């Protein structure tokens, strides 16, 4: 039976805490892969740690710049041999997305490029404030179209959009942030679902989890997640 894929967000610059999260989230019942974002990657110890890290990991940089700068960013990661997933923001445009995909394939044949759509901290009101005229659902669908056109390996979007996106793009690899265990605070997230809703009901391929798992007793939280997904 295929294990549920969980990306654990290591959102801290504290190296000892990161090591603790990695060690205490290990389980044979789930496929756990650590995800490192800007806070850890930008830290001196963080970047050095990833150079020598000997397990697969997800690097969540949300690259969003002119094509040449984006290409240079990918090129600078060639020493990170165990990096298996990297994020690039769809806002960078189709040509940037295509170029990053091509460069990533050359830099690391095992590296999968995921396109980030509308952040899960945003809602329709937020999009209007930014200046978008499309609804959130319309914009996500449009962005996924660019992801497919660019040949990226998958998309990052909320589980709330996953169901209708899957109807149009059945084989799309979908990673979903904004995940909370039942009863946990949404914090800065606007479009939140439970792991069960995302993985079982909306059929996403993987979820990103941070605070619901790393706050408090990590091992107990992992057990809660396993039980939650077994319902």
The catalytic residue among 35, 62, 103, 160 is 62
Question: Is residue 9 helix, strand or coil?
Answer: strand
Distance between CA 156 and CA 42 in Å, rounded? 22
Closest CA to 222 of 67, 22, 55, 19: 22
Verify whether residue 62 is a known catalytic residue.
yes
Distance between CA 215 and CA 201 in Å, rounded? 26
CA atoms within 13 A on the CB side of 89: 10
Distance between CA 166 and CA 130 in Å, rounded? 27
CA atoms within 13 A on the CB side of 207: 31
Query: In sequence order, which residues have a C-beta less than 8 Å from that of residue 18 and are 6 or more positions away?
Result: 10, 12, 34, 36, 40, 46, 49
Query: In sequence order, which residues have a C-beta less than 8 Å from that of residue 223 and are 6 or more positions away?
Result: none
User: Is 89:63 a contact under the CB 8 Å cutoff?
Assistant: yes
- CB neighbours of residue 132 within 10 Å: 15
> Which residues are catalytically annotated?
62
């Amino acid at each position: 039976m295929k294990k549920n894929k969980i990306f654990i967000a290591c959102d801290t610059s504290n190296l000892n805490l990161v090591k603790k999260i990695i060690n205490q989230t290990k389980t044979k019942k789930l496929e756990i892969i650590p995800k490192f974002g800007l806070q850890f990657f930008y830290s001196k110890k963080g970047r050095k740690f990833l150079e020598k890290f000997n397990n697969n990991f997800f690097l969540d940089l949300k690259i969003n710049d002119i094509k040449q700068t984006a290409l240079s960013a990918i090129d600078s990661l060639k020493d990170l041999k165990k990096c298996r997933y990297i994020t690039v923001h769809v806002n960078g445009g189709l040509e940037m997305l295509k170029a990053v995909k091509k460069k990533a394939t050359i830099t690391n044949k095992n590296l999968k490029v995921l396109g980030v759509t509308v952040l899960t901290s945003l809602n329709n009101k937020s999009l209007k404030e930014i200046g978008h005229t499309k609804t959130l659902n319309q914009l996500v669908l449009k962005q996924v179209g660019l992801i497919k056109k660019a040949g990226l390996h998958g998309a990052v979007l909320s589980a709330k959009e996953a169901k209708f996106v899957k109807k149009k793009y059945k084989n799309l690899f979908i990673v979903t942030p904004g995940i909370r265990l039942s009863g946990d605070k949404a914090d800065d997230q606007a479009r939140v679902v439970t792991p069960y809703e995302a993985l079982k009901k909306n059929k996403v391929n993987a979820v990103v989890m941070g605070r619901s798992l790393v706050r408090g007793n990590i091992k107990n939280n992992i057990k809660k997640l396993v039980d939650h997904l077994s319902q």
